[in-house]
Amino acid sequence: MAWHERVVRFRINTHSIRVALRTARLLEAVMGGRFDIAISTKNFILLDCDDKSAIELFTEFCRGLCREYAARGFMYETPHGFHFVLLKFMSFPRWRTFYRWLLKMMDEEPELEDIIDRAHVEACLRRGYATLRLVQLRRYLMIDETGEVIFYE
């Protein structure tokens, strides 16, 4: 069966059913297949650290987030830096509040910009969702709800 004969499912982060349906219809028109959508208004916190020499500070910051939100976290390395996913779905208002708080903290404590990519945070807020690529994964660690590293490879 050719791909355009199947139903392709994708997830879209939006608060508007109209936007989601319009996106699906546009993809159908351009790609020639049928697209089903799953609307989500929940997000993960995703952070990016491009400075590999800041891994210890970045890890400590991420461990603190795991403790604060009582959630596990996943950190991984790629050729371009380190990346973190807080494994807790957040409502859009709570997610947006976190990213706004983070930008404010970066203004007040400039050393945070050494460990967190401001451009990524700003782009997340501008788009209304966060993304990170999981390509060329090299190694990773898991952090539990108390901030303890529980698995490292």
CA 31/CA 74 separation, integer angstroms: 34
CA 148/CA 102 separation, integer angstroms: 22
CA 135/CA 73 separation, integer angstroms: 18
Q: What are phi and psi of 55, to 5 degrees?
A: -60, -40
pTM of the model: 0.71
CA 46/CA 131 separation, integer angstroms: 7
What is the residue-level pLDDT of the chain in tens, covering all 153 positions?
A: 454 455 556 656 566 677 777 777 777 777 677 766 666 667 889 999 988 888 899 999 999 999 999 999 988 888 888 899 998 988 888 999 999 999 999 999 988 888 999 999 999 898 887 877 666 667 777 888 888 888 776
The pLDDT, as a whole number, for residue 76 is 86
The pLDDT, as a whole number, for residue 4 is 47
Eight-state DSSP code of residue 33: S
Distance linking the first and last C-alpha atoms of the chain: 39
The pLDDT, as a whole number, for residue 14 is 62
Q: Are 59 and 76 in contact (CB under 8 A)?
A: no
Query: For the chain, how many residues are written?
Result: 153
CA 75/CA 81 separation, integer angstroms: 11
- Which ranges in 6-117 belong to alpha helices (H)? 17-31, 55-69, 92-108
CA 93/CA 80 separation, integer angstroms: 30
